[in-house]
Amino acid sequence: MSDALSIRHYEAADRDAVVALWTACNLVVPWNDPVADIALAVSKPNATILIGRTGDRTVASVMVGHDGHRGWFYYLAVDPECRGHGHGRAMVRAAEGWLVEAGMPKAQLMVRATNHAVVAFYERLGYATGPVTVMQKWLKTDSP
């Protein structure tokens, strides 16, 4: 298998491969339905999913969107068997490019503080912890 990564926008036929990738990367949690998340992202003009492929295999993805002021990344995933080849870096750069084209001056993302490897990955790409507190309120009764 070639390590060359090609990146393109999500197509409906990608759904099962993307859900399988997110599952393999431990990104799927009971309170976030990945199929619903995909459907929401691709139904909005301010969001997209970028797919990274080697040959005919989906090995990476990132969901990217913006709120009109700043961009956000979600579901950055690289197949565990394909890590260490720069695919994550390439997906982040592609997502950043999409945000620049949308006129966004800043990209943001959330990482659990305990996920030290992912924090270190983003730090190597120039990201830093911001002076903000993330607050939340569950609006659905079936959320944790």
Q: Which CATH architecture has domain 6-124?
A: 3-Layer(aba) Sandwich (3.40)
Other C-beta atoms closer than 10 Å to the C-beta of 12 total 8
DSSP string computed for 29-72? -TTS-HHHHHHHHHTSTTEEEEEEEETTEEEEEEEEEE-SS-EE
- The structural domains of the chain, with segments of one domain joined by +, span 6-124
What digits encode the pLDDT tens for the residues 33-79?
999 999 999 999 999 999 999 999 999 999 999 999 999 999 999 99
State the average pLDDT for the chain.
Answer: 92
Q: How far is CA 29 from the centre of its chain?
A: 15
84: left (phi over 0), alpha (psi -120 to 50) or beta: left
Residue 103 pLDDT > 70:
yes
Contact call for residues 84 and 120 (beta carbons, < 8 A): no
Q: Write down the pTM of the prediction.
A: 0.90
Q: What is the pLDDT of residue 1?
A: 47
